[in-house]
Structure 1
Amino acid sequence: MRSKAIGGIAAQSMQALISLVLQIMVSRILGIDDFGQFAILYGIIVLATAVITGLVGDTLVVLDRSRHGIRAGLEGTLALVTASAAVIAGVLAWATGFVSGVDAVLFGAALAAFAVEEIVRRLLMARLAFPRVIATDLAGFVIALLVLGAVWLAQPLTLGAFLGAIAAGQAVAACVGWFLVPRDDRFLVRLGGADYAAVWKYGSWRGLQQTLRPAMFTATRLLVLGFAGLTAVGELEAARTYTSPLILVVGGFSSYLFVRFAGKHRDGEGADSLREADRVVLVLLGLTIVMGAIAVALAPLVGPLAFGVELNTVAVVAWVAYGASVAMVTPYGALGAVSGRQTAVFLIRLGDTVLGLAAATVILASGLSPATVPFALAVASLLGGIGLRWLAASSKDTPRSHPDGTPSFG
């Protein structure tokens, strides 16, 4: 278990590092205002990818994807939802005047490529092939840097150049990752006979749940934009980006736990999963506190070097607090999701998300600093974690499975 867990953390850490480097480049090259604009667009990409990951990525882990109907349903859903999200996001970004027509096309392409690459990563993670996940991410990062270098030789870098680099890098990464998927899992099927009902029955709730955190971040950015302006968005996002490896490391371990818990429940061995989740929470909380203390200490030095601006210490501490709350929530959410209680997990997470956004609105409307907003999000998240822990503790049944692999209780 330990080596696989380390592999999961390493895979997410690599993705976090790549994302961090790209965002630092945007901040340094384009400036803090353009970084705020990029943060909103990137947040929408992450939000759409979260929907698709929950709907398709988590479902392929839990259901029997070797069955023709399930696999066809996964393929058809991925194609339809990805294309729809890319077109809608691109059109809205252009129609509202937020970006130019060319940038809107590049934005849509980046969203689609990002989502498809994430599903390929999920196929690899479902097989616990974490070194291959890292290789996939590195391939995409190299291509993105090559694209940026080629554009830089011809003209100054722009927002569109970064969107195009992300699109190209993720597209190549998806291809590389597909060829790294084990042969017995690397095949496509005809869409005829697709069992969309089974895919959507499980995946719709997971898709909704996966949207909550990125949707909250996007809504928070828009609230800060409305109350304090684009520069304030950039400054708050710089602090979040600086501390984002904390959350993504926690996410990496939780992705591993989701696969592990799903396997144990399919095999009827989930009796000790709650104790395991408790131990993981303690480990993640300790890791977050240590990493957070280091991040706060280094912020005055790293901020000007990495982002070209001084990081707000209050904002850094607040985002570390939010990271600690995530460490205390996500293992219980993963456990609840594989136990057939994804609806209850979603409702609890929806409640804490709405509470966090309401508190953020009050803070901003009261004229308090946007740097304090993550504290409100952290408290709401922690309350949700208490609810998820109670939900996991109240489950006493031994899981069974439907023929399609969907968990069942009772």
Structure 2
Amino acid sequence: MSGKRSALGAIGSQGMQALASFTIQVLVARTLGFDGLGAFAIAYGVMVLVAGLASGMVGDSLVVLERRTPAVRSALQQFALGIAVVAGVLSATLAGASGLLDASTAAMFGAGVAFFALEELMRRLLMAGMGFWRVMLIDFASFAVALLVIAFSALAGGLSLFVFLGAVAAGQLAAIGLGAVLLPREERFVVGFVRGGVGTVFRYGIWRAGQQFLRPALLTVVRLLVTVLASLAATGLLEAGRVFVAPATLAVSGLSSYLFVSFARDSSKLLAEKLRRADRAVTTLVGLTVVVGALLVALLPWGGALLFGTAPDLLAVIGWIAYTASIAAVTPYGALAAVGGKQAAVFGIRAADTVLAIGFVSAVLLAGGDVQWVPAALAAASILGGLGIRWLILVPLVKTG
């Protein structure tokens, strides 16, 4: 029963985070137009990308490794702060230098990147103790604070990209503070500088960081390709389709987070039994994606126009549903293989399907194809990665184990 509650909490926590992202992006589209949504999507995509890097290097490591050992704890702290600070400064500098954002907005963007990474690590620390309902609570706090910032700014005289990025940063900071209060007593401590743990964390975390980095990096590259080869408005329209499909994506992501922690905690079961469990999870997640996706397609004609002013393209929405289904077919197998010590092999396969996806998207755009085919191209490459992880990594492991 506790497992079911934890799984529901995982969906709820992911749902709250997705609801916040969904609502803010709808508000951006309605107030700043699709050009504004395109710019915000690129900036927000970088935040998610850096959070993925931190989640893999630090978040997955603290779940699998002995995080209460002083040397490991110190290394986790060093990597957490290092990633947040370096990524924040670098993101702000590049955004300002490239002309994508003005100086003040770029600085706010950098703060958002740093806080987003640290808040994700707070979420992972709560998840490590199966505290998924507490994760949902801090995500709600983040959402509420972000909405308050947006509302007060609107009343004070207007909304801008600076305000929306500032709202995200303020929400993440509030979530970090509440998370520190909600941490179990045994997790609520820091250690001084201790030698000996950096190599341990790096050897495990670097592959998970690479894997977590791949999907948001892919989406960021795709957004940039669409912006350069089509337009910023086209990026905004494509992003609107992805946001509309977010309810399907959140369930997949939430259950995937639960599965990784569950696989890591349950070392007593044989790999063959865990693989059967992963197969069942894939079937369930893909089926759930199809059902929710069908409902979203039915709601698209009026729901899309209500949310964005202009309904997202039907082909793009179907493509994003297919891409979500491909994530459902990949993530449980990747989580099981990583827990089993095959994180480097998983990264290799996922890197290959990411390069393939970029090739597919580039070919579509350079050939003059419709931008709305981009999500379908991503789905095709992603599903190949999921099949590769199962048949090239997990099945041989079961046979030799």
Which residue does the alignment assign to 1:159? 161
Residue identity matched to 2:176: A
Q: Is the 8 A contact 1:5 1:256 kept in 2?
A: yes
CA RMSD of aligned residues (A): 1.3
Query: Are 1:279 and 2:260 an aligned pair?
Result: no
Distance 2:15 2:143 in 1: 14
Query: Are 1:378 and 2:382 an aligned pair?
Result: no
Give me the TM-score of the superposition, normalised by structure 1: 0.95
Q: Is the 8 A contact 2:6 2:133 kept in 1?
A: no
| TM-fit CA distance, 1:44 | 0.7
Residue identity matched to 1:167: A
Query: Are 1:360 and 2:361 an aligned pair?
Result: yes
Distance 1:19 1:398 in 2: 44
Which residue does the alignment assign to 2:290? 289
Residues 193 and 398 (structure 1), Cα distance of their counterparts in 2 relative to 1, 3 Å cut: farther
| TM-fit CA distance, 1:193 | 2.5
Secondary structure in 1 aligned to 2:195?
Answer: coil
Q: What does the per-residue CA deviation read over 1:63-99, in whole Å, with 9 as the maximum and x for residues that have no partner?
A: 0001000000000111111100000000000011110
Q: Is the 8 A contact 1:264 1:270 kept in 2?
A: no
Which residue does the alignment assign to 1:207? 209
Which residue does the alignment assign to 1:198? 200
Moved more, 35-44 or 267-276: 267-276
Distance 2:381 2:230 in 1: 22
Which residue does the alignment assign to 1:50? 52
Q: Is the 8 A contact 1:236 1:371 kept in 2?
A: yes
| TM-fit CA distance, 1:269 | 4.9
Distance 2:397 2:301 in 1: 46
Q: What does the per-residue CA deviation read over 1:222-278, in whole Å, with 9 as the maximum and x for residues that have no partner?
A: 11111111111000000011112322221111111100111123x465441100000
Query: Are 1:187 and 2:179 an aligned pair?
Result: no
Which residue does the alignment assign to 2:255? 253
Give me the TM-score of the superposition, normalised by structure 2: 0.97
Q: Is the 8 A contact 1:72 1:194 kept in 2?
A: no
Residue identity matched to 2:353: D
Which residue does the alignment assign to 2:319? 318
- Structure 2 residues not aligned, in runs of 5+: none
Distance 2:19 2:150 in 1: 18
Distance 1:19 1:319 in 2: 16
Residue identity matched to 1:344: A
Distance 1:293 1:332 in 2: 25
Of 109, 112, 119, 1:110 maps to 112
| TM-fit CA distance, 1:2 | 2.3
Number of positions where the alignment pairs a residue of Structure 1 with one of Structure 2: 398
Distance 1:29 1:142 in 2: 19
Residue identity matched to 1:179: V
| TM-fit CA distance, 1:326 | 0.9
Q: Is the 8 A contact 2:126 2:135 kept in 1?
A: yes
Alignment of 1:27-176 (within 5 A): 27-176=29-178
